[in-house]
Chains A and B, each alone.
Chain A
Amino acid sequence: MKSAPSHARWAPWVFIAPFILIFCVFTAWPLVQSLILAFQQTFGPKSAKFVGLANFTFLLKDPMFWHAVRNTAVYAAGALFVQLPVALGLALLLNRPGLRGRAIFRLIFFSPSLVGLVFVGLMFFLLFQKRTGLINAGLHALFSSWDPEFAWLDHYVMPSLIIASVWLYAGFNMIYFLAALQNVSRELLEAAQLDGAGPWARFRHVVIPEIRPVAGFVVLLSVIGSFQLFELPWVLLDSGSGPGNSGLTIVMYLFQTGFLTGDLGYASAIGWVLGLILAGAAFVQARLARRETP
């Protein structure tokens, strides 16, 4: 039998009040508004006209939107297949028993995560310049056949973005992988070794199943983060979507239609489609996680 609470009845409400107030005004209410806006055509915040599903039917046929979806998906694929493997690799290296200087390496790899996206964008804007940028110069010094005029930001916008994102996020995700690896049971690994399992077999059959929950979480966070990509390309491409919209992302398109064209209704429709994509990703991740744990 639970005893009656000894605290005053108002106490919990006072503590939660700031959250409830701000949640209602700045999350719940805008959420409802965005649903209404998505069915309107607007010109700035002042005038609106109900247009039914027109925003959505137009969106599905809007080649710019699909172009943005494709770019964003390419970036997400880069996060999953380039950035996360690098993060896991760094974590595995740092998790080697007997390694010295682990704390300092961890600090170095993590340090880019402190740099805001704007500042990363500015740094890489200069790093990727033809001739004067360090990346072309370095590659030219290492491989003399490399063209120092290589136009990263004109013709290779997506690879540039993925390179910048590896520098920025690999160390951040490494922290999660490392924490998971340090929780892998020593006994299990030693038992596998006694049974004659080599390093690859131990990784495949002991380490991977043990870090799977954290890996799933990191993958989901990366996909969600990737689909909200905006600031990095916006700054890297000097406040624009790049030559031929080669760096246009979903949120950048939302920003452009909402604030440069002034149609908050269409921008909201884009927001809802993005929300559906993210909900889909979370759903798939939840299903996969359930299937893997019996």
Chain B
Amino acid sequence: MMRRFALVPVYTALVIFALITLIPFVWMLTSALKNQNDYFASFFLPRGDGWLGVAWDRLTLHNFRRLFTEFPIGRAMLNSWMLASVTSSLATLACAMGGYGLAKFSFRGRHQITSCVLGALIIPGPLLIAPGYKLLWQLGLLNSYAGLIIPSLAPAFGVFLFRQTMLNSVPAELLEAARIDGAGEFRIFFTIVVPLVRPMIGAFLLITFLGAWNNFIGPQIVLQSPEVFPLSVAINNLRGLYATEYGLIMSGTLVSIAPVMCLFLLLQREFISGLTSGAVKG
């Protein structure tokens, strides 16, 4: 009995913080569903004489309709899906392969390559912006998805994460046994190793998908034609042109974050355990 009351201040604090966290989302949703007049007249739902004193009939999908008919947001959304799914699946494959190579084989040069991975971890991204731009220009990859995707296909952080995971969760005896049975190296990788590190694969897919979906500085620098822009750049440009059409900006932001939110809800258990496994067990 005592114990239950002792937790009351804890719940109160948690609920207050949860409200602070959620209110911007609720505000965004209600703002996206209102017309310009109601945006100025009320902070959440428009006031009226409907159920609970809310003018439900004044809620409108007008902003979303404009977003997809007057602006190339549908195209930008397809671009984002394409960029994020290609980047995340290829990067996860490359990182899992790299981590496996470094963790489960002994060969000359292994230590040097592991040092490269660790070294690459501490190179700040912004340092590579200017020379990276020059390189993409020299390779003729500016304004192309290849220029955006290829450099991000083997992040050192991912190789390191998979190396750490493979060290612990892939038993060498299993690999030896498979080799004795005559299984090829790729077959071993795809049928034995990948299933063993499945949680990390799921977490890393999500991390890289989020990273590519939310990437702004990359497309901002590499891409030039508006029809290839992903949502991040397209919505920011929309704001640049229509800064006072608040409902429109809100609906654009909403359609940009809703897909990744749903994806996360589906995969969240794997994601959070993958996120902390490197840091805590490390």
Contact = CB atoms under 8 A, between A and B. Distances in A.
B14 A105 contact: yes
Interface in B1-38: 3-4, 7, 10-11, 13-14, 17-18, 20-25, 27-28, 31
Given A23-B116, A93-B10, A179-B280, A254 B129 contact: yes
A99 interface: yes
Interface string B261-274: 10010001000100
A45 interface: yes
Query: What range describes how many residues of A lie at the interface?
Result: 35 or more
Interface stretch (A61-69, A185-193, A201-209, A267-275): A267-275
A176 interface: yes
- Taking residues whose C-beta sits less than 8 angstroms from the other chain, chain B's interface range is 35 or more
B111 interface: no
A124 B25 CA distance: 11
A26 B135 contact: yes
B126 interface: yes
Given A19-B98, A118-B235, A272-B127, A108 B21 contact: yes
A179 B213 contact: no
Given A18-B154, A93-B13, A109-B17, A122 B132 contact: no
Contact of A119 (B175, B189, B232): B232
B145 interface: no
A16 B17 CA distance: 45
Contacts of B125: 228
Given A22-B150, A127-B27, A271 B129 contact: yes
Given A14-B185, A23-B120, A117 B135 contact: no
Given A118-B216, A264-B130, A271-B124, A16 B98 contact: yes
A19 B117 contact: yes
A121 B240 CA distance: 13
A213 B40 CA distance: 49
A206 B147 CA distance: 50
Given A5-B107, A116-B216, A238 B243 contact: yes
Given A34-B131, A98-B7, A235-B216, A15 B189 contact: yes
A115 B213 CA distance: 10
B131 A20 contact: no
B210 interface: yes
Given A109-B17, A214-B279, A126 B22 contact: no
B100 interface: yes
Contacts of A122: 235-236, 239, 249, 252-253
Contacts of B126: 228, 230, 250-251, 254, 271, 274
A133 to B, nearest CB: 9
Interface of A: 2, 5-9, 11-16, 18-23, 25-31, 33-34, 37, 45, 90, 93-94, 96, 98-99, 105-112, 114-119, 121-127, 132, 134, 137, 167, 171, 175-176, 179-180, 183, 214, 217, 224, 227-228, 230-231, 235, 238-239, 250-251, 254-255, 258-259, 264-265, 267-268, 271-272, 274-275, 278-279, 282
19 contacts: A12-B101, A14-B101, A16-B101, A19-B113, A29-B135, A33-B131, A34-B128, A34-B131, A93-B14, A96-B10, A122-B236, A123-B24, A134-B23, A167-B21, A175-B272, A259-B221, A267-B129, A267-B130, A271-B124
Given A13-B101, A22-B150, A99-B10, 9 more contacts: A5-B107, A26-B132, A27-B128, A34-B128, A127-B27, A167-B21, A217-B279, A259-B221, A282-B122
